[in-house]
Amino acid sequence: MFRKNIVRRYIRFYGQVQAVGFRWRATQAAKAYGVSGWVRNEYDDSVSMEIQGTQRQIDDVIASLQRGSYIRIDHMETKELSVDPDERGFSVRYR
């Protein structure tokens, strides 16, 4: 049974987010907090992420990223998406 309090967000991160281990840290945090989704670098030096879990889990992943050495998140754009009830795991995507 799929829990009702699950949400899915598209988040675009801007700042010092490429070449600093952002995708690796995002994957580790996603596994630690039990969320699913994906993360990828964009051509404009931002990073995109789709993340699915409770709002608390998502907030915990973002807080973990903000604590990461070398990572500096200047701002984020967030959009609500439809939940994918079949998604499992978290991965790095490549263009």
For the question of residue 5 being annotated catalytic, the response is no
Q: Are 57 and 31 in contact (CB under 8 A)?
A: no
Name the active-site residue from 8, 9, 25, 41. Answer: 41
For the question of residue 8 being annotated catalytic, the response is no
Name the active-site residue from 8, 9, 23, 25. Answer: 23
- Please give the order of strands across the beta sheet that includes 72-81: 72-81, 7-16, 47-53, 36-41, 90-92
Residue 85: φ, ψ to 5°: -65, -15
Enumerate the active-site residues. Answer: 23, 41
